Structure 1
Amino acid sequence: MDRETEKERWQRNFSDLLQELRVAQTGVQILFAFLLTLPFSSGFPDTNGFQRDVYVVALLAAAAAAALIISPVAFHRVLFRRGRKPELVRFAHRMASGGLSLMLVAMVSSVLLVTDFILPRPVAFVLSGLTGVWFLIFWAALPFVHRGWLDGDEDEEDEEDEGSDGGAGSDGRSAPAT
């Protein structure tokens, strides 16, 4: 089997990341659209001050998540054909991570808003907390637990390069911009 070149690996990493961002982008855009229409619904005037505050948090978190998740597209446009794919992949990885974090805030806040509207506040807090834990299990805990279970496939190098070392390669140095 032929080993891919470094350039091919960066291109594959970027393509994989774009596929992941498409899924996240759709989710955050649907949530953002829902939140944008909520104040115009007939029940919104019945919300209290706490619920409106939670709504603002959810709305701003969804907007910020959308900005971060979509930002790799703008970054790619600026760096297009400049041979800086490693930098683009590292940037897109950071923006995707930040966007997912804000999407978590938007989703938990949205759950809190709705559950506080229809249930007693203590129940709403418990359900929202459980929602946050549920997301963290699937978005953070399980991926980190499985991160160490590499089975020796070709992506092993990718896992080393995409660690939390600030974009540095496995030797601790930043990859040169090509």
Structure 2
Amino acid sequence: MTLLNLPQNSVLLDLLREQGEPPRPTGLAYEGWELHTHPDLVERLEELAGDWPVLPTFGVPVLAAKGIAAVLALGTNSLLVRLPEAPPEALAPAAPRPPLTDPGQDWYAVSAWQSELHSTESARLLSEVVRHALSYAAGLSSDTTTDWRGRPVQTPPTAGGKAGAKRKKGKAEQRRPRHS
């Protein structure tokens, strides 16, 4: 499975497609493409993602919600997170990745390792940012049939429908005594 070809992903997919290449005999393959992320960083993203599926996309691991890219790991240190605002100042930035991280875009580069923070604090903050990015990406989708995790949304019953509607007692039922 790979990232969906949706308008919200077009700039990212163009960039990844451009750098994507078949695996070299001496390189590392990642779902049929040359891996563009250090294996330790792939593992770090998987840890931060919890049970969220990692989508191999042109040799790059990506997290998506409702088909919209939210987080990706590049190189040896960079996590690119899609957010409506800059990540917390406590998180050290990583090198920008134009055109995704250009001003006015909703992508931010953060260091995956956060060497200035205690490891548990680093993992906690990065996990929060990853969850926030997934939630934000889901909000960019026009799909209303699933929640941000991709689970079907249960709609409340309509007033005219039988589900959940209470039956009104008729006048005869209200006056009639109940026999035990």
Asked whether the two chains share a fold, i.e. TM above 0.5, the reply is no
Larger radius of gyration: 2
With a CA cutoff of 8 Å and minimum separation of 6, indicate the structure with the bigger relative contact order: 1
Higher helix share: 1
Give the TM-score of the pair, scaled to structure 1.
0.29
* Structure ranking higher in strand proportion: 2
